[in-house]
Amino acid sequence: MENKKIFRASIINPRNHAVADCFVDGAIYTEDGIIKKIGYFSDVIKGCENNIETVELDGVLMPGFADVHLHWVQHQVRGKYSGELLTWLKEHIWPEEASYIDTGKAGQAAEEFYADMLRAGTVMGMSYSSPHAAATEIAMQKMRGDWIIGNVLMAINAPNDLTDYSLHDPILLNEIMMRNDRHHYALTPRFAPNLSTEILSYLGMIAVQTSSFVQTHLAESNAEIAWVKELFPDAESYTQVYDKAGLLTPKTILGHCIEMNDSEWQCLFARGSWVAHCPSSNEALGNNRMPLEKLQEYHIPYALATDVGAGPSHSMLHVIQRFIAIHRKAGIKISFQEALYRATLAGAEAMNRDAIAGNLCPGKRADFILLPSKQKNQSWDGWFSECIGGTMSELEERPQGTWLASERAA
């Protein structure tokens, strides 16, 4: 039996970086969790059978968020520590990640993570796990929503309990990589300092051969760049370390990209790789502002992300708030259409899922959230400003509901 429903509410549906369709009295019609129609309520009900269940919602319905860069194993300590990137990693984050060898802890933390994400309106994204295969498997099995996950690969310059010595054996490495589900798995070299030139090249080869997603960090802080220079003296830039290894493809998502020169931007454009822009994390760790004007100048595709746990909140509404505020200070005005797109459809595009997710167009999954109502006479711009106003914890609780097609069908 097909499960048919009409959801009636105000609707905002991002289409691209400049356009979002807005319907004050709108509706979506879904069959078995797939959107069949969207538009004004009066138009949507035309041609529908009379007895279809109609769910009347008081608020604004929009697609759920996509968060393309976070560390689920840091969720429990998000925002707890700050400071310079490398010190922060070594003193606080790596010891926390090491504790995920405990599968009991990993199981409980994974359940909390997914529940928190859904409550904050995030229905899909890309996530770094700890190096442990078991913790990564747990994150896959307990998955709610649609995630791409990878165990961070660390072979050198890391504590013993986070170092995977098997990565030095290319045959083993290949076997490990070939076993994974390519739709939900990403090759995840943590960052260049944790891998040798040889291992990075093997990973690049696997990425190309298997058409895998790749996620890693790039040019987040000046201390990190100095370290990379010391470790890879032959490379002209940090970006070149990855490029020489063959790791930059259209399925590569690079976290941060703050301290970049023009030839590095040109390289990213030529490879078609994505930037995961994490404004709240950059602010929390005291890094420089990511030069958004360079992404615009070089037409680099990008999507927004929380980068939990350097990012203090898993709420994409909080990320949007910081995104707009930080760049406004530098004289760049970001429209609400752009912000919405970067937090939803752009993420789905980065994840190669824009044909099935990312907004509310017909044929896509009915994964959506309900935000507070728009007042009469209020502009959509005004409504949006109100939605992203307030404290971090208020923003985490702002969605009034999250609907996931996969869970309704279950």
The residues of the shown chain that bind Zn ion, judged by CB under 5 A, are 255, 307
Q: How far apart are CA 407 and CA 319, in angstroms?
A: 26
**Least separation, in Å, of the C-beta of 307 and Zn ion?**
5
**Least separation, in Å, of the C-beta of 216 and Zn ion?**
9
The residue among 97 and 307 lying less far from Zn ion, judged by its C-beta, is: 307
Per the DSSP assignment, residues forming a β-bridge with 66 are: 124
Q: Are 306 and 313 in contact (CB under 8 A)?
A: yes
- Burial bucket for residue 13 (CB in 10 Å: 0-12, 13-18, 19+): buried
The residue among 173 and 308 lying less far from Zn ion, judged by its C-beta, is: 308
**Least separation, in Å, of the C-beta of 194 and Zn ion?**
13
Q: Write b or e for each residue in 77-112: b if 16 or more Cβ atoms lie within 10 A of its Cβ, otherwise e.
A: bbbebbeebeebbeebbbebbbebeeeeebbebbee
**Least separation, in Å, of the C-beta of 409 and Zn ion?**
32
The residue among 113 and 383 lying less far from Zn ion, judged by its C-beta, is: 113
- How many other CB atoms sit within 10 Å of the CB of residue 377? 6
The residue among 188 and 344 lying less far from Zn ion, judged by its C-beta, is: 188
Place of tokens 């914890």: 393
**Least separation, in Å, of the C-beta of 89 and Zn ion?**
10
Q: Are 215 and 67 in contact (CB under 8 A)?
A: no
The residue among 10 and 281 lying less far from Zn ion, judged by its C-beta, is: 281
**Least separation, in Å, of the C-beta of 208 and Zn ion?**
24
The residue among 218 and 340 lying less far from Zn ion, judged by its C-beta, is: 218
The residue among 224 and 307 lying less far from Zn ion, judged by its C-beta, is: 307
> What is each CA distance from 275 to 90, 132, 315, in whole angstroms?
25, 26, 19
The residue among 307 and 349 lying less far from Zn ion, judged by its C-beta, is: 307
If DSSP codes are grouped into helix, strand and coil, which group holds residue 354? coil
Q: Are 301 and 349 in contact (CB under 8 A)?
A: yes
**Least separation, in Å, of the C-beta of 93 and Zn ion?**
9
Q: Write b or e for each residue in 227-242: b if 16 or more Cβ atoms lie within 10 A of its Cβ, otherwise e.
A: bbeebbeebebbbbbb
**Least separation, in Å, of the C-beta of 132 and Zn ion?**
17
Query: Nearest CA to 67 among 350, 394, 287?
Result: 350
Which uninterrupted H or E stretch holds 57? strand 53-63
**Least separation, in Å, of the C-beta of 120 and Zn ion?**
18
The angle formed by the CA atoms of residues 8, 32 and 68, to the nearest 5 degrees, is 80
**Structure tokens of 153?**
């690969």
The residue among 67 and 307 lying less far from Zn ion, judged by its C-beta, is: 307
